[in-house]
């Protein structure tokens, strides 16, 4: 099977050709390497240790489980498991339904999600409202995924150790992920000078797409009524929100790429990194981050995402995309009104 990278490049090349017809896309779902990539993107999220409706978590993932999933896709017996419903409070005092899907369904959806976010779009618009029907980027992402599934351009990895091992051993030549992977790459000293950092590919079929995106990262929060609120706010103010010297030191110590703009002018940001052939990767990151489009996840994005999992499967099964997305949008609108507001 072709590597996921080759498939994605091929699909991107053809996406700008008006009238081009993609064929045999569904067979890409038979390529285990795509599922390894999907697993790599979502394995570290804390929520994956919460049991889905199938009573399993990411902790039980294995090559055998992926093979079984592919077998179900081949004989068309695969059906998304019902999401386990859980309710959490909204700001207005009402309750928002949250669906907890099975991990297998998360894998299938993640391939779509990667493309959607890289194009600076999401299931919601700039105001946080549902943006499914008529979302050209979403349509292009789904179409691209269906093309990718037919090509096989990536190595599928089952866990973090295999993920790191794939590029440390030289098995792969590209790692399309966040800047936080840099320290792991550099553990393979014998590969020094063979790697470089590049911008993320844009989607040729989307004019607004740029070569920049956000993937992962960390954030600091001060919890309401948790105690010592003012002290916590002051701590963040004096450290991550303003301390340029601290950010400069963390670049060298843990390869931190800070969102503090002033940090980009520090010495370590301007230093070349020997492993990457002297490339000033932090200077590049500081430049690219300025191009990352702003995406508003909205209040109900996770509920929408849960509903989209079933929608993706229907589309992959051959149901008309517009019909499916229309139905998904209506369901999301109902969810947005809150429980009991019918």
Residue 133: which of 146, 124, 120 has the closest Cα?
A: 124
pLDDT for the residue numbered 220: 76
Binned at pLDDT 50, 70 and 90, residue 46 comes out as very low
**Range among 86-95, 103-112, 249-258, 326-335 rated most confident:** 249-258
Predicted TM-score (pTM) above 0.75: no
pLDDT 10s digits, 150-194: 777 766 566 677 778 888 888 888 887 778 888 888 888 889 999
Q: Is the pLDDT of residue 140 over 50?
A: yes
Rounded Cα gap, residues 226 and 246, in angstroms: 26
- pLDDT at residue number 340: 39
Q: Which of 17-21, 35-39, 105-109, 172-176 has the lowest mean pLDDT?
A: 105-109
Highest mean pLDDT among 57-71, 86-100, 185-199: 185-199
Indicate whether 310 pLDDT > 70: yes
Going by DSSP bridges, is the β-strand pair 84-89/95-100 parallel, antiparallel, or unpaired? Answer: antiparallel
Query: Does the structure show a pLDDT above 60 at 34?
Result: yes
Q: Comparing 320 with 76, which gets the higher pLDDT?
A: 320
Sorted by sequence, the CB contacts under 8 Å of residue 307 that are 6+ apart come out as 99, 328, 331, 332, 335
Helices 103-118 and 136-148 cross at an angle (nearest 10°) of: 120
């Amino acid at each position: 099977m072709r590597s996921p990278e080759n498939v994605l490049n091929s699909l991107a090349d053809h996406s700008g050709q008006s009238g081009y017809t993609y064929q045999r896309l569904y067979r890409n779902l038979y390529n285990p390497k795509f599922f390894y990539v999907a697993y790599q993107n979502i394995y570290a999220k804390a929520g994956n240790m919460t049991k889905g409706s199938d009573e399993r978590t990411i902790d039980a993932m294995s090559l055998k489980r992926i093979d079984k999933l592919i077998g179900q896709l081949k004989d068309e017996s695969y059906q998304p498991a019902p999401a386990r419903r859980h309710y959490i409070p909204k700001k207005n005092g009402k309750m928002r339904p949250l669906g907890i899907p099975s991990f297998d369904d998360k894998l299938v959806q993640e391939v779509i999600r990667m493309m959607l976010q890289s194009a600076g779009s999401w299931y919601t618009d700039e105001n946080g409202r549902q943006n499914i029907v008529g979302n050209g980027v979403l349509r292009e992402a789904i179409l691209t995924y269906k093309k990718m599934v037919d090509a096989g351009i990536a190595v599928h990895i089952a866990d973090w150790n295999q993920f790191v091992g794939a590029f440390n051993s030289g098995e792969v030549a590209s790692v399309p992920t966040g800047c936080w992977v840099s320290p792991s790459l550099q553990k393979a000293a014998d590969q020094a000078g063979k790697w470089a950092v590049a911008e993320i590919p844009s989607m040729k079929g989307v004019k607004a797409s740029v070569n920049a995106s956000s993937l992962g990262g960390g954030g600091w929060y001060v919890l309401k009524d948790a105690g010592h609120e003012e002290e916590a706010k002051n701590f963040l103010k004096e450290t991550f929100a303003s301390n340029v010297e601290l950010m400069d030191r963390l670049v060298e110590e843990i390869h931190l790429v800070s969102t503090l703009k002033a940090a980009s002018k520090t010495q370590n940001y301007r230093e070349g990194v020997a492993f990457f052939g002297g490339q000033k990767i932090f200077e590049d990151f500081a430049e690219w981050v300025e191009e990352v489009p702003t995406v508003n996840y909205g209040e109900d994005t996770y509920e929408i995402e849960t509903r989209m999992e079933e929608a993706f499967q229907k589309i992959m099964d051959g149901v008309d995309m517009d019909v499916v997305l229309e139905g998904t949008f209506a369901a999301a609108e109902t969810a947005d009104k809150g429980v009991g507001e019918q």
